[in-house]
Amino acid sequence: MSAIGTLVDLLAGRGDVAALGPRDWDGILSAARAEALLGTLAHMLKDARLPESVALLFADTRAAAAVATRQALWEAEMARRALAPHGIEFVLLKGTAYAAANLSCAAGRQIGDLDILVPWHDLGRAENALLVAGWEWVKEDAYDDAYYRNHMHELPPLIHRDRDRMIDVHHTILPRTHRVTPDALALVSDAVPIEGGLALLCPTDMACHCAAHMLADGDLQGGLRNLWDFHRLVTDFAAADRGFWGKLDERAEMHGLEVAVHRAARLARDLFRTRIPSGWNSYHPRDERYRSRLLARDGWGRATDPLLQQAFYIRSHWLRMPPPMLARHLWTKWRKGGPRPV
């Protein structure tokens, strides 16, 4: 079996750890690193009988993830201290949110930038407050800056001059020019406050955002990690609330995300054996391409299947903006010498 297939099996709780040889582990570890899932795997196999060197590496990885989580939560607190005095409320998104709520998908999860959501009408004030508190622009390029401001769902990324950490300030969860427009006001108004003056999306919105981020926004680069998040989120939420799936259905429809959310559920079922309700349990031939894309990784950690990747890359831009705008954007980026647009 392929390294990535074995990785998925181990994450899903299938697969026999004892049957794996040293060369299998080489591939699993590289594939897991490439998919940012090594920490997750290290947590899943915490009590398994492992080769000594793998057990040591997993212990290192868990310790590193614990430090990184602490640093990420500190960064959220820094943002709170910058924004709260101005009366600007914000909602934590993605990895930092999962860690703040201590959700099961946060165990060992790598956290990149701090992602926050502020109401559209507070965006300008939030930007100013962060600049005053020591964050600075990363992109100096005027076109990129304008591109973010006019078309994207977030400000151009800011980085803190002392702590060297990035913050992405979102005002919604999909680009403004995207074919789908989620209800950003509902995202903010139904957010759930947690300890420490922070807030999270409500469970259904969290699942919607996860699916949107994976399937509607990007080219599925790193999608396996997002799918794992989705799997754990819906599994935990459904265990806590019997009516969760019904609410998720309604909420996804309200945001225009029912296709993405249903596909995420089916893909999670196919790869991680997520238990999904019968109404969701259908078969779609096109899912096959998504599964292939999610598993396009070899035992050396290399991306495989370049044509499929390219197809998903084009798809991501097709979804993101209308064709004339896309043409103009690609033309500008190409003239500037960057082969890959933002």
Partner 1 sequence: MRHRTRIAVGPVQFRIGSDWAAPIAALKSLYAGYPCDKARPADATVRLFAARPWRRWLRPSVHIGGDFIVPDALPLPLSMGLLAAEMGMNLQVALGWRRHLLLHASAVAKDGRAVVLSGESGSGKSTLAALLGEGEWRLMGDEFTLVEPGSGDALAFPRAVSLKNEAIAEVEARVDPARLGPLLAGTPKGDIRHLIPRADAIAAMHEPARPALLLFPRFGGEPAIERIGEGEAFVRLTEASTNYVALGEAGFAAMTRLVRETPAFTISYPDSAAGMAIVEQLWAEAVR
Q: Which residues bind partner 1 (CB under 8 A)?
A: 22-23, 25-26, 29-30, 33-34, 51, 53-54, 56-57, 60-61, 63-64, 67-68, 70-71, 300-302
Q: What is the DSSP string of 293-317?
A: HHT-B-TTS-B--HHHHHHHHHHHH
Nearer of residues 69 and 235 to partner 1, judged by Cβ = 69
Minimal distance, residue 38 CB to partner 1, in Å: 9
Q: What is the nearest approach in angstroms of partner 1 to the Cβ of residue 52?
A: 8
Q: For residues 246 and 243, give the distance between their C-alpha atoms in angstroms, rounded to a whole number.
A: 6
Backbone angles phi, psi at 326, to 5 degrees: -60, -45
Element (H, E) at 231: helix 223-240
At 328, the amino acid letter reads R
Shortest reach from residue 80's CB to partner 1, in Å: 21
Nearer to partner 1, 303 or 330 (CB): 303
Q: How far is the CB of 71 from partner 1 (least distance, A)?
A: 7
Residue 96: enclosing H or E segment and its boundaries?
A: helix 94-100
The upper half-sphere exposure of residue 283, i.e. CA atoms within 13 Å in the direction of its Cβ, equals 1
Nearer to partner 1, 32 or 233 (CB): 32
**Between 163 and 179, whose beta carbon lies closer to partner 1?**
163
> From CA 334, how far away is CA 336, in angstroms rounded?
5
Q: Which is nearer to partner 1, 25 or 272 (CB)?
A: 25
Contact indicator for 117, 91 with CB cutoff of 8 Å = yes
| Extended beta strands in the chain, E state | 91-93, 114-117, 135-137, 158-160, 166-170, 192-194, 198-200
Q: Quote the least distance from Cβ 68 to partner 1, whole Å.
A: 7
| Residue 203, H or E segment | helix 203-211
When the beta carbons of 63 and 185 are compared against partner 1, the nearer one is: 63
The minimum distance between CB 311 and partner 1, in angstroms, equals: 20
> Which of 175, 218 has the CB closer to partner 1?
218
Closest approach, Cβ 129 to partner 1, in A, equals 26
CB-nearer residue toward partner 1: 99 or 118:
99
Q: One-letter amino acid identity for 228?
A: W
Question: Shortest CA distance to 61 belongs to which of 44, 34, 42?
Answer: 42
Instruction: Name the minimum Å distance from CB 23 to partner 1.
Output: 8
CB 175 within 8 A of CB 217: yes
Give the DSSP letter of residue 301. Answer: S
Buried b (16+ CB within 10 A) or exposed e, 167-178: bbbbbbbbbbbb
